[in-house]
Amino acid sequence: MAMRVLMIAPPGAGKGTQGAVIAAHFEIPHIATGDLLRDHVAHRTPLGLAVKERLDRGEFVPDDIILDMVREAMTAAKAAGGGYVLDGMPRTMAQAQALYEIAVELDMTADVALHLKADDDELVRRLLARAALQHRTDDTEEVIVKRLALYHDLTHPIVDWYAERGILVSVDAMRPVEQVGREILAALEVMRPLIDHVPADSRRAIDLTSLGRAFGRQPAG
pTM for this model (two decimals): 0.83
Mind listing the domains of the chain with CATH numbers?
4-27+85-211 (3.40.50.300)
Q: Name the DSSP class of 114.
A: E
pLDDT at residue 56, as a whole number: 82
**Which tens digit of pLDDT belongs to each residue from 91-139?**
899 999 999 999 999 999 999 999 999 999 999 999 999 999 988 777 8
CB atoms within 10 A of CB 147: 17
Tell me if 53 sits within 8 A of 213, measured CB to CB. Answer: no
Structure letter (DSSP) for residue 109:
-
Q: CA end-to-end span of the chain, whole Å? A: 37
In this predicted model, what pLDDT tens digit does every residue of 174-203 receive, in sequence order? Answer: 889 999 999 999 999 988 877 765 555 555
d(CA 211, CA 184): 12
Tens digit of each residue's pLDDT (9 = 90 or more) over 13-53: 999 999 999 999 999 999 999 899 889 999 999 989 988 88
**Quick one: which of 201, 45, 158, 177 has its CA closest to 118?**
177
pLDDT in tens, 56-95: 887 778 899 899 999 999 999 999 999 999 998 898 999 9
Is a pLDDT exceeding 80 seen at residue 163? yes
Q: Which residues contact 19 (CB under 8 A, 6 or more apart)?
A: 5, 7, 30, 32, 85, 87
